Amino acid sequence: MKKANWFLLVLLLALGMFLAACSGGDSDGGSEEAEGSGDGEDTEESSGGDSEQILNITDTAEIPTMDSSMATDAVAFQWLGSTTDGLYRLDLDANPEPGIAEDHEESEDGLTWTFNLREDATWSNGDPVTAHDFVYAWQRAVNPDTGSEYGPYMMSGVIENAEAIAAGDAEVEDLGVEATDDYTLEVSLEKPTPYFESLTAFGTFLPLNEEFVEEHGEDYALEADTLLSNGPFKFEEWGSEGWKLVKNEDYWDADNVQLEEINVDVVKETSAAVNLYETDEIDRVGLSSEFVDEYRSSEEFRVEEEPTLFYLKMNQENEILGNVNARKAIQKVIDRQAMVDTILNNGSLPGVGDIPQNFAMHPETEEDFREINGDLIETNVEEAQELWETAKEELDIEEAELGYLGGDTEVAQQMDAYIKDQLEQLDGLTVNVQSVPFQERLDRDTEMDYDLQNSGWGPDYVDPNTFLNMWVTDGGNNKTGYSSEEYDALIEEANDELALEPVDRFENFLEAEKLLIEEDAVIAPLYQRAAAQLWKPYVKDVGVNPMGPDYTYKYAHIDGKE
Amino acid sequence: MGRYITQRLVYMVITMFLIATFTFFLMKFLPGTPLSSADRLSEEQQAIVLAKYGLDEPIPVQYFNYMVNLLQGDMGVSFQFDNREVTTIILDRIGPSLQLGFQAMIIGTILGMLLGLISAIYHNGVLDYGSTFTAVLGQSIPSFVFAGILQYFVGVKLGWFPVALWGTWQHTVLPTIALAIFPLAIAARFMRTEMLEVMGSDYITTARAKGVNKFGVVFKHGVRNALIPLITVLGPLAIGLMTGTLVIENIFAVPGIGEQFVKSINTNDYPIIMGTTLFFAVFFILIVLVIDLLYGVIDPRIRLAEGE
Amino acid sequence: MENHKPNKDLFVPVDTRDDDSEKISRPSLSFWKDSFIRLRKNTGAMIGLGALIILILLAVIGPSMNEYDQFEQDLARAKMPPKVEGLEWMGMDGTLSTVQTADSLEQAETNALMRFNNDEDHIETNVLNDGSNGEEAEVEAVYDVYASKDMEGQNFWFGTDGLGRDLWTRAWEGTRISLIIAFLAAAIDVIVGVAYGGISAYYGGRVDNYMQRFIEILVGVPNLVIVILMILILDPGILSIIIALTITGWISMARIVRGQILKLKNQEFVLASRTLGAQDGRILRKHLIPNVLGLIIINTMFTIPSAIFFEAFLSFIGLGLPTPLASLGTLVEDGFQSLQIYPHILLFPAVIISLIMIAFNLLADGLRDAFDPKMRE
């Protein structure tokens, strides 16, 4: 027994040393946190209390930039959207509502848009938000010296001269945007753009305070101190572990903002985030397919549909994939229902077209695009086999080997293995999976160095054009080698002659989608993504958006938290 | 001694130069583009953005520019974190990694040594088997599996410590334990072997014969002599922790340098890849140097000049 | 080793030479034999060796022990829990269970049923706490997955993964691939390391100096960085992982061999051999290498498991084998996501990794003791 005592003593001693070492280490790391959330041990109490208006959430990545000209990803657009109002902003139902603009007029030809700005909006340093801020921001975004990726992409073909400026062939001042006075902004478009209103809520089109940006130069938007806000929230802290937003008291609509604080931590592992949610540290968590099984019955479980489509891109320069029957066989052979039910298991929908469900409505009947066109693809292995046999005859081959560039989502490994298995049901087909990082896939897409590719597309504005425009001949994002005069004509007509005829335009898109998926089988849609999440019941009125910032926190409030 | 250190420092500079060169060219072979939205840009637009970062130049020119800047202490700006200085990013994130690393190293080796001691003292007893088993087990479970289990059971089920994130010292407890388990296991097993050997030597027998009690012998004569070989394994261990931090930081959402490194490789963020590699290399070489010096200090039998 | 007695008729007188008296009967044999005897006495090492043999055997024949293929998918049988007839008492009875708490007993029951899609025919519920004592009500539900899917005739010994692939088959296929990677990596390390260290130490002087400078530079390279970069540049696969592992892995072997040979090469027996006119190659092969062999074996015993660990680590950061190939690393990484919900997916590959590690460590420890002349009784 003596031995046991001695052992215990050593253990205690070790534990003592361990704790001493720990508390020694915290002096530098802990102090800054102390003011924020109190000392670790009582975090639960500090976030509790009498329904404090504090929202605690996580993000899966750091904010890459808060410079609206440079932003390219969901995280940046999210927090730009929460701190900065554009001309319009997205309301609780994801419809554009007045932001800095009170209203606007369109000219008859749809080429000139005049926005009347509110005069009570200010930046968080006290400067008024004026039309010049928009002119500066838009010019900056499209200026090739800025090195923006989204500026040229979003503005080319929309705003007058943007394309030429981005290519360095015109002066920045020629951009079709002008401040006729401090509170009137006039925008000249390249061609009528029916969805321009929803564009103005997009991150790239947010205003910038010229004086402030120039003053900070290269340091602009690198820290909480070198950022300006004109929206519902402003940054208070921003470090590598997360960031903290507080209500912007000077916001023009501050009366309607209830949330006092938003704390965001970066957590990349789903299981870590779920564990944080379980211990009441955070108020929302995204679930991976395994966790859905466990939490499906929970009252806190929610599924948010997203208009993001995933599909197989098929490189038509490949001999086999150049054959339309081979492509159709690939479209038909994949069992999408089992895929979304078992692998994704998060409420994702089987992909049956190029336009996601609940994304675009018929301008008159309000019927959903997807409803009207219906399922353009049905899984049918037998038919697929027949098509495949025809294709093999036409190509005069017995066996085929195709490379497949894997996806980069959380379920990529399983998804890739599944798709390989499904495709190999076709007699004599071998699929070689290549799992590559996202950036490499992008590169190989640009070079068209692939056979099959698991790819995704989210909308940049609320209009079918964002999904369909990319497949025109030599379209910047086409990269499948698809070229159809008929298709090109449909899209061009929709964006030119029919630009101001919403119904006919919509019809054109319907027809184009059928052509794209049903007849030419350019892509094999896989699924429309959804997000399975847990939300604490006391979080109310957070808007979920199909584009731009994922969530609208302006109207959010905490209600009934103990 | 002075001459030896100077010589080592000269080698270090040469090594750093070669590593920088090697990594630079290796990195240029990385497939993929550094642009995050390459799928939305036309090739002309991509070319314009790449030119802004100086990536349109021939690779030897890029290399030359990089080295010139590096000599002036400028490691460039990150691609993924627009405009942010690489130095700032590394300095921002090195704190948590170092803190975790040191805590794990100290706790791991101290506890490990204790376990090893217990094993040696109670050689072939129950306590020996117990602690040997613990050590072998600690060495045999992949650290991320152990971390996941810790997080779930200690963090969620028992609620003793925060499950993830960073801030107070409580937040460091679970990741530290997860990281410490490996050095603990190694130290324990090493200590046991060395102690057994030391305890078998003549001078221990002499001391015992002179009436020094068992524990006195262990602590006065045994531990000190067993420490010398232990120091040799500390270096590789410290470096091994680097591997550990990569996954542990991810699991416990610690804003450290390891997980950032993996991310920058996946996003082709060349300046960060270079910066972190060089940083790791300096750290690495310094550890090796310190260990070599320590070795000489603790064991007078070793003359540094001779080793070279 | 020839111990049989020859026929008497075969005896022919030998003319004895002077040096014959110097001959040591059974020269290095005694060392190996002695080591082997001591190894056999070491229970730990024997357990390790036994475990290793069983694991390797299973890796070879395991996949063919049932009718499932490692790539055969069926989403209808995804995430099935393990079931082994006769081992039901160990929890391998093909059921899933959950404990649901709620304010009222009814609610807890509803939740418990809903957890398994309200498939009431195959759910058994037990009330753990009816909530009457003021606490929350707790209901445990046990769900017979095999019965609910009409698969009572089938047994997935280790369960199935998210795509309905049999984990028993995949686990052993994975073990096989992991072992192949580890053995090949270790073999290359040994070959390169021994050659490099041997040459460097044996020739000494300027050769040694240059070769050591080169190693010193390599040692400064954070090998992790190089390994990751190499894997990304080469196409991911078994070969690239082996190359990446060995690109810096041989260094420690080279250093050990060099140190040992430096020590040995000035000893008398080498001098003797040299005086007798032996060539460099012969001395290296016949005298030096055999004497460092023990050390090489021990070091290899530690290299193999660390290669397996490293492969697992690579999988975890997303640089593992391309799907659908299974290795222990990819299996563990796959299971890590469902650690809390479907622990069986992680459990078996993780246990196999740990067993391999333990086995190799025990064996290596035993070998170290066995080869250590100081441990001779």
Dist. CA C93–CA A545, nearest whole Å: 45
Q: What pLDDT score was predicted for residue A47?
A: 42
ipTM for the assembly: 0.83
CB < 8 Å to B108, chain A = none
* A 268-287 residues with CB < 8 A to C: 270-271, 274
Q: Is the pLDDT of residue A497 over 90?
A: no
Q: Per residue in C323-334, pLDDT tens?
A: 788 899 889 888
Among A14-18, A407-411, A533-537, C87-91, which is the least confidently predicted range?
A: A14-18
* pLDDT bucket at C25, cuts 50 / 70 / 90: low
Mark yes or no for CB contact B18/C217 under 8 Å.
yes
Mark yes or no for CB contact A281/B166 under 8 Å.
no
A409 vs C: CB within 8 A? no
Q: What pLDDT score was predicted for residue C54?
A: 93
**Which chain A residue is nearest to residue C231, measuring alpha carbons?**
A436
Alpha-carbon gap: B82 to the closest alpha carbon of chain C (Å)? 23
Tokens of A537: 């019941």
Tokens of C108: 């807890």
Dist. CA B220–CA B113, nearest whole Å: 15
A554 vs B: CB within 8 A? no
Long-range contacts of B215-218 (CB under 8 A, 24+ apart): B215/B121, B218/B117, B218/B120, B218/B121
pTM greater than 0.90: no
Q: What pLDDT score was predicted for residue C375?
A: 54
Alpha-carbon gap: C281 to the closest alpha carbon of chain B (Å)? 26
Share the mean pLDDT of chain C.
81
CB < 8 Å to A267, chain B = 164-165, 253
Tokens of B82: 């627009």
Dist. CA A539–CA A283, nearest whole Å: 7
Alpha-carbon gap: A494 to the closest alpha carbon of chain B (Å)? 21
3-state secondary structure of B255: coil
CB < 8 Å to C220, chain B = 12, 15-16, 19, 281, 284-285, 288
Q: Per residue in A354-369, pLDDT tens?
A: 999 988 899 899 899 9
- Candidates B11, B26, B242; nearest CB to C216: B11
Q: How many CB atoms lie within 10 A of CB A444?
A: 21
Q: Could you tell me which chains touch chain C, where touching means 3 or more CB pairs under 8 A?
A: A, B
DSSP B118-159: HHHHTTTSHHHHHHHHHHHHHHHS-HHHHHHHHIIIIIIIS-
Query: Of the candidates A312, A291, A337, which has an alpha carbon nearest to the alpha carbon of residue A532?
Result: A291
Q: Per residue in A138-157, pLDDT tens?
A: 999 999 888 888 888 889 88
- CA within 13 Å, CB half, C312: 31
B154 vs A: CB within 8 A? no
Mean pLDDT, residues A3-12 taken together: 43
Q: What pLDDT score was predicted for residue C4?
A: 65
Positions in chain B short of pLDDT 50: 303-308
- Candidates B31, B149, B277; nearest CB to C222: B277
A31 vs B: CB within 8 A? no
Instruction: Please report, for residues B101, B246, B265, C28, the alpha-carbon distance to residue B243 in angstroms, rounded to integers and kept in the order given.
Output: 11, 5, 15, 41
Amino acid identity of residue C162, one-letter, is G
Beta strands at A261-266 and A429-434: parallel, antiparallel or unpaired: unpaired
Mean pLDDT, residues A227-238 taken together: 93
Q: Is the pLDDT of residue A251 over 90?
A: yes
Mark yes or no for CB contact C229/B26 under 8 Å.
yes
B129 vs A: CB within 8 A? no
CB < 8 Å to B137, chain C = 354, 358
Domains A88-120+130-208 and A305-530 in one fold: no
A300 vs C: CB within 8 A? no
Mean pLDDT, residues C205-227 taken together: 79
CB < 8 Å to B264, chain C = none
Mark yes or no for CB contact B142/C332 under 8 Å.
yes
- Where does A305-530 sit in CATH, by number? 3.10.105.10
Residues of chain A with pLDDT > 90, as a percent, come to 56
Mark yes or no for CB contact B136/C362 under 8 Å.
yes
Among A16-25, A545-554, C53-62, which is the least confidently predicted range?
A: A16-25
* pLDDT bucket at C84, cuts 50 / 70 / 90: confident
Structural domain boundaries in chain A: 26-81+222-303+531-558, 88-120+130-208, 305-530
* C 183-242 residues with CB < 8 A to B: 213, 216-217, 219-222, 224-226, 228-230, 232-233
Three-class secondary structure assignment of A101-170: EEEEEECCCCCEEEEEECCCCECCCCCECCHHHHHHHHHHHHCHHHCCCHHHHHHCCCECCHHHHHCCCC
- The residues that bridge with A189 in the sheet, in sequence order, are A159
- Where does A88-120+130-208 sit in CATH, by number? 3.90.76.10
Alpha-carbon gap: B145 to the closest alpha carbon of chain C (Å)? 7
Amino acid identity of residue B142, one-letter, is P
3-state secondary structure of C241: helix
* pLDDT bucket at C374, cuts 50 / 70 / 90: low
Q: What pLDDT score was predicted for residue B51?
A: 82
Q: A450 vs C21, which has greater pLDDT?
A: A450
Alpha-carbon gap: A275 to the closest alpha carbon of chain C (Å)? 10
Q: What pLDDT score was predicted for residue C95?
A: 82
**Which chain C residue is nearest to residue A412, measuring alpha carbons?**
C323
Q: What pLDDT score was predicted for residue A535?
A: 94
Residues in chain B: 308
Q: Per residue in A425-467, pLDDT tens?
A: 999 999 998 888 788 888 888 888 999 999 988 888 888 999 9
Q: Per residue in A67-121, pLDDT tens?
A: 999 888 888 999 999 999 999 998 888 888 999 999 999 998 889 999 999 999 9
- Candidates A296, A335, A414; nearest CB to C162: A414
* B 44-103 residues with CB < 8 A to C: none
- Candidates A297, A406, A414; nearest CB to C163: A414
Alpha-carbon gap: B224 to the closest alpha carbon of chain C (Å)? 21
Query: Of the candidates A253, A257, A235, which has an alpha carbon nearest to the alpha carbon of residue A244?
Result: A235
Mean pLDDT, residues C279-286 taken together: 78
Mark yes or no for CB contact A296/C114 under 8 Å.
yes
Q: Could you tell me which chains touch chain A, where touching means 3 or more CB pairs under 8 A?
A: B, C
Q: What pLDDT score was predicted for residue C22?
A: 62
| Residue of A275, A309, A441, A457 to mutate, interface with B, max B Cβ within 10 Å | A275
Architecture of domain A26-81+222-303+531-558: 3-Layer(aba) Sandwich (3.40)
* pLDDT bucket at A22, cuts 50 / 70 / 90: very low
* pLDDT bucket at A32, cuts 50 / 70 / 90: very low
Instruction: Please report, for residues A77, B56, C50, C96, the alpha-carbon distance to residue B34 in angstroms, rounded to integers and kept in the order given.
Output: 19, 12, 51, 46
